[in-house]
Every structure is written in structure tokens, then in C-alpha cells.
Structure 1
């Protein structure tokens, strides 16, 4: 067997080990291939293979360098896959077709990551499942929701400017921890959350009554939607909180999509869409979202 045949054999064997989810042996074969004289496309294939092998072993930090190297010289579907997986490792998002998601699914850092990309159509109007943001289990002190009859919009009142998926996941998990550990609630109080990139997170199951509007009476049949960000200045909490953020255009677009979908699913009238301040004395969710809700109920489309 000459050098060319040996290199080709190692590359093929590496792919076979990937198919069988053996990351260690796959890396060994691809590294053996790299010891020979490879073409640019073969180097890209080997580096991309090592990157995928690390992802199989849930080691995205080690995969990043090899995925970056794999992009150079890669062509066709492999280049598309490599760019997508690198973006996932770096906490970014790229548009993806269902076909692309199916090809890269075995290598994603966690089982729910596929659901983190809008437009895939895999989870309806959801973009990020509870499994994806690693939600802690629902506790026993909850009540059934009953038929949803209204929707209430909130802001998290916590500064968040990053559009990285990794930061949004951390923030949603942090909110859940506060609600469960400090407030002793059964789960995160909201049924859905929307991050600055417009991704819709699955919160408390809709079948479970929320903890967001003020009390049991106002929470009954009330779906809670929270936009991540601080949309009302709170100087008493420090300089970071004094800065009043604006909901991003993608957040508002997702809010409209989610609200329309929920209303259609549960036959909720348009005049049953509220902001938090309509149930209790609070400045939540800030004047911009209050204006958005007034316009939504009036049928006025955003500019």
C-alpha cells in the first residue's frame, strides 16, 4: 500500500469510527492521516473529522481549533456543516435547513441544541427546549393551569445585551434558580422567555399554572412571557441597572409570532393580552413594551 492509499484508508476509517460514535479511534485515524502529505481538501477533511470526534465526546472546547482549521479547504456540504458546528461551539447562531440539522445532530454539544435554531420547524414556535438550557426538574408544589385564557408580558428586569446562545441559556437557568431556591416556587415563573436574539425559550410547562402575574387568581389561566433585558431604568440597584435597554427588533418580532401562535392554539382573544402592570403595581415591563401591547390589541402593526 503506497502513501496515497494509506492516507485515504485512514480518512475512510476515521469516518467509519465517527458513524459508530467512537471519538477516540476516529481521532487516532485522522491524526494518522495528517502525518502524510495531504491535499488541502484532505487536510480539511481530517481536521473536521477530529473536531467532530471531540464533539462526540462532549468536548466542544477542544473541537473549536480543529473545526476552524477544517473550514479552510473544505467545500460542499462538509464546509457548511463545519461552519455550523463551529458557530454552535462559539455560542452563535446560523440559519439552518432541516436537512443540515439532521446531518450535524450527532455532533451537537447537547441533545437539545437542534431546537435552538429558529426556522427548523421541529418544535413549532419554540426555539430552545428545556433540555437545551438544562432546566432543573419541576418541583411538587405546583397547580394545574387549566385552559389558558390570557397572556401577560414581562421583562426580566436584569441587564442582558449579549446575543450568544450560551449567555441566554445561563440567564434563563439563573432565573430558574432564583425562582426555585430563593422564592421557593415549583419552577421558573414564566412559560416562555425571549432573548435579545429573538430565540423563544421553553419555560414552565403551559399545563402548569405560572408564577408571574402576582397571585393565584391573576396567574390562573394566564400564560407568562418574559423578554430578557432591563427595559426600565433602576438606578437604585446600581449603575448597570440605571441603563434602560430597548427590546430588540428580533425580540419584538418573536413576541408577535409567539403571541399569535398561542392565541391561535388556545383561542385567546386579542384583548386578553396584557402587560404585568395591568395586574399589579409595577413598572414591568417598561414603557416600550406597554406601548407595543397597546398597539397589538388595537391591531396596529409595528413600523
Structure 2
């Protein structure tokens, strides 16, 4: 599909001064940045080796809705080198997610080894595949703020210890191709909808990261927005191994995550697509990396704790509470932790077995300890 190309801008300055330490001046021409458009070559999983016509950095595997019932515990991928040798099988760790107005889907994104010329997927016949290239596409131009800051302290909220400030790399800062959010007629594929925040949920991408974490975010965005047809990324915020935080789901041109100045008990977040059936009023924060067998870096853990503390302070969510989550659209009530893991909501491995086992100690308790 041919899409319009947009000169993107960072989150609008209007409204940010209430949260940022000081308003930023409009971006000058010299502030304009570039990032390559993500390329993808699609295929359908048949169990045979796929050899894309271009170099690729990752492979995405998106299960069709009817495949969800069959399960994907045996799904795996392996890669072929230039000398025709196929490497060992790597298990896929699919996530179930998506916007509420579309059927749910299960997807996985796997980093390809340098020099791979082909790949083979088993246990997922009929799944939609894509060989993804995050480095060689045409350069897109981005202007405006590269980073913004959110701080409970600036609003007089005193329930946060340490005076944490959440510094966020904007969509323009990491190079979001905003044309993916629109159809050929310019209609928004996923219009923003807002609800008062009730819960926070933690995820992982289940993908080995590269040295370019902005490119990793662009890859996840492309998987969700283009390959799965959602029109945007399914997470509100993402955290890389160095602790940098990235703006996710587009919130309509105002603040990241919110529809306006967030006040405890009144803050409204844009609905994303990270926990199908429980997306409304639920902020999704995703760590870049695969934590099936290891923990996130200490920098990522520390950053996630800060992110959750600030979000709790801004929204009034008590991280020590077990809540009665009430879906604001259909009224369904689900008992849940106020700060939860993806697997607490749905049958999924996310945020990885190793991380999930240690979550209460390394994350949730630290968030609670910073809550006065």
C-alpha cells in the first residue's frame, strides 16, 4: 500500500510547560533529524526457507486470529547464512495484544544474525511473516522537540519520594514514521480514545536488542502499525537497556500518554493495544529485550521503577493496592494488581519467565517503597 509521507514533529509544546522544567524554543532548521524508513518484505509461513530479496535485521511473525486457539508453544525460527548453513532453532515468545476494535493477534519479533540470507519458521503455518530492515530505507526528516519531561513535583504532588522526573524521547526523537497511522485518504487508522487510569502493566519485547535502540523501537512500531495493521504502536512507553524512555502510542498531539495535564484520580490515558480486553484505562510500559532467561539490566530496572513511580504519582494509582479493574467500555470487573505484569492479565509468557519471577522484588516493591 502506498502511504502519504509526513514531516513529523515532536509532541506539541502546548501544555508541556506545565510538566517540563521550562518551555523549549521552536526547533530550528539545524534541529531537524533524520531516520531511515523501515522496510519489510512479507511472506506466509509454510515451513520452508524464505530468502528475502534484501538484507534484513529482524523477522516478525504475526499469527492470524484463528491460529491463537491452536497455540504456538512449538513455534520457532532459525536463520540461514550465506554458505547455506541453517542455524539452531530459537523458540518464539509471542505476545497476545491489539486494539479493542480489531481481533486479537499473537506476534513475535526476532533479531536476525548479521549476514543472514534466509529464515525458516516452524509451528506457525499460515502466520504472516516479514523480513524487516531498519537501516537501509529512505531517510525521513523529523523536527521539533526530541525529548520532554514529566514530573509529579511540578504539579505539587507530594506522594513521590526522590523527586523523580520522567524524561521521554518523543516520537519525533526516535523517528516514528507518522504516515503509518493513516490510510490512503488520510484517515486516522486508530483514533485516540481516553479513560481515567486504573492500572499500569509491564511488558518485554521478547527480542534481543541491537546497538541502536531507537531502531529497535521503530521495528516494534512497524510490526504493530504496519504488519499487524493497528495503525500505531501498542505500548504507551518503552524503556531500553540503558534506561532511556521512549514515547509510544500517539496521544493526539498533546502530552505523551495523556490527553492533558494529568492529575491524581483524574488523569486520562490514551487507549493502547498491549493487553487485549484490558487496554482501556491501563498504561502499558515495555522493556526492550528478552527476559525469558535473564533479568533486565540494572539501568533498565532503575528506569522502570522511576517510570512507574512518576506514573503512579501523576495518576493516583497506588502501587501497593490490589484493585477491582472495571473496563470503562463494557463494565466487566477483574481483580488485579494496580502495578501488574502482562501475564497477570492474559495467558502469555510476557514479561519473560526470569523477569516475571523476580518482578515483585526488583520492581514492584521498590515502587511501593518510594510511595509515601
TM-score class, shorter-chain normalisation, is: 0.5 to 0.7
Match of 1:182 in 2: 227
Match of 1:156 in 2: 205
- How far 1:202 moved relative to its partner? 0.6
Change in 2 beyond 3 A, CA 1:284/1:195 = same
Q: Does 1:267 align with 2:308?
A: no
- How far 1:291 moved relative to its partner? 3.8
Q: Does 1:229 align with 2:261?
A: no
Match of 1:133 in 2: 174
- Determine which of 232, 246, 253 is the counterpart of 2:295: 246
Match of 1:240 in 2: none
Match of 1:115 in 2: 147
For 1:145-166, what per-residue CA distance to the aligned partner results, in whole angstroms no more than 9, with x for missing partners?
Answer: 311110000000110153xxxx
Change in 2 beyond 3 A, CA 1:141/1:292 = same
Change in 2 beyond 3 A, CA 1:112/1:256 = farther
- How far 1:115 moved relative to its partner? 2.1
- Determine which of 281, 284, 287 is the counterpart of 2:350: 284
- Determine which of 214, 220, 240 is the counterpart of 2:276: 214
Change in 2 beyond 3 A, CA 1:58/1:134 = closer
- How far 1:269 moved relative to its partner? 1.6
- Determine which of 193, 213, 218 is the counterpart of 1:144: 193
Q: In proportion to residue count, which structure has more strand?
A: 2
Change in 2 beyond 3 A, CA 1:248/1:288 = same
- How far 1:211 moved relative to its partner? 0.3
Bigger Rg, which one: 1
What is the count of residue pairs matched by the alignment? 182
* Secondary structure of 1:263's aligned partner: helix
* Secondary structure of 2:300's aligned partner: helix
Contact persistence 2:206–2:291 (CA under 8 A): yes
Contact persistence 1:229–1:245 (CA under 8 A): no
- How far 1:114 moved relative to its partner? 5.0
Matches within 5 A, 1:36-75: none
Unaligned 5+ runs, structure 2: 1-29, 35-140, 155-164, 182-187, 252-256, 258-268, 322-337
* Secondary structure of 2:270's aligned partner: coil
- How far 1:169 moved relative to its partner? 0.9
Q: In proportion to residue count, which structure has more helix?
A: 1
Match of 1:196 in 2: 241
CA distance in 1, matches of 2:199, 2:32: 44
* Secondary structure of 2:272's aligned partner: coil
